[in-house]
Amino acid sequence: MSFRKEILDHGYLELVDTWGSEEQIIEAARMSTGKGFIGWGPIEKVCVHCHEGRVNVAMDAFHVSGVTDCPKCAGTGKVKGSGDEKLLRYLWENKHSTPFEMAGLTIEVQAPIFVFREWHRHRVPFSYNEMSARYVPLPDVNYVPTIERLMMNAGGSNKQAGVVKGAVELTTLAAEAFQKMLFELYATAEVAYRVALEKGVPKELARVHLPVGRYSRMRASANLRGWLAFISLRSAPNAQWEIRQYSDAVGELIGRLFPRTWSLFQESKK
């Protein structure tokens, strides 16, 4: 399966690899019984009453009395039972989490550096590998928030995005002026960066003045349990809007790869 989602002004999230499946989650959970994966959705089982009636009529009260329609199978000889969704739900609702470590995914992400700083704080079992400005010059790609994004908290509704004490309420004109200033600062920083590189300043030092709005790239890998723990925090309403866009994209991807687990996860957040 291919998946790529454009995020912010220059960012993206792309699937690199995935492993495991919801069937393997079930198989891992049944290691102690050796039953393995049985099947999804309603599954048919042989009706015990009808089976016994065919082998020995005397054993089946329904047939002895002349009743041919078993209340379990309605005369079909088959009984519909629940599939392995029932076990998957049981595992999730009772926090038997380790079977969900039997599946996972690796993604490639391009995001502003400040988004990566928030991302890397998580202590879930992530594996990261980010491009290094020690070895390659960082591309001149920088994040400029839209006017709508800048005005998102103009009324002070989000304490996490609070302004400094004594600040006036942001206006559209002030937001536009901030955008213009950002463009100018980014351009000045890029000129200084290129001049430093051309003058022989080591790449690892030529970058020291670059802003956290500069885009970087990384690959991130984790099992399904880890990704869901990440999303529970980074898609929360009080998380910063920018990282929520990336977290929501991971959720969209998980919904395609592991739809039953994703449905259970969403139910638990209601």
Looking at the fold, whether 77 and 200 belong to one and the same domain comes out as no
Cβ pair 216, 130 in contact under 8 A: yes
Q: Is residue 86 part of a domain?
A: no
Q: Are 248 and 218 in the same domain? A: yes
Which residues are designated catalytic? 234
96, part of any domain? no
Per-residue model confidence (pLDDT) at position 122 = 74
Domain identity same for 68 and 114: no
Q: Which pLDDT band holds residue 52 (cuts at 50, 70, 90)?
A: low
Co-location of 16 and 143 in the same domain: yes
Domain that holds residue 110: 1-20+103-153+190-270
Secondary structure of residue 28 in the 3-state scheme: helix
Q: What is the mean pLDDT of residues 77-84?
A: 75
Whether 16 and 49 map to the same domain: the answer is: no
Residue 162 lies in a domain: no
Contact 5, 12 (CB under 8 A): yes
**Residue-wise pLDDT tens digits, 225-250:** 999 999 999 999 999 999 999 999 99
Backbone angles phi, psi at 4, to 5 degrees: -145, 130
* 15 & 77 share domain: no
Q: Quick one: 269 and 197 in the same domain?
A: yes
4-17 confidence digits (pLDDT tens): 999 999 999 999 99
Same domain, 210 and 253: yes
3-class secondary structure, 13: strand
Strand runs (DSSP E) across 26-170, as ranges? 43-46, 78-81, 104-112, 127-130
In a domain, 164, yes or no: no
Q: Is 263 helix (H, G, I), strand (E, B) or coil?
A: helix
Total domains present in the chain? 2
Structure-token pair, residue 172 = 């559209």
Residue whose entry in the numeric block shows the structure tokens 């089976």? 51
- Cα–Cα nearest to 112, from 212, 12, 181, 240: 212
Residue 194 and residue 75 share a domain: no
Whether residue 269 lies inside any domain: the answer is yes
Is 128 part of any domain?
yes
Indicate if 207 and 73 belong to the same structural domain.
no
Residue 8: give its domain's CATH number. 3.30.1360.170
pLDDT of residue 47: 74
Q: Does residue 160 carry a pLDDT above 60?
A: no
Q: Identify whether residues 70 and 198 lie together within a single domain.
A: no
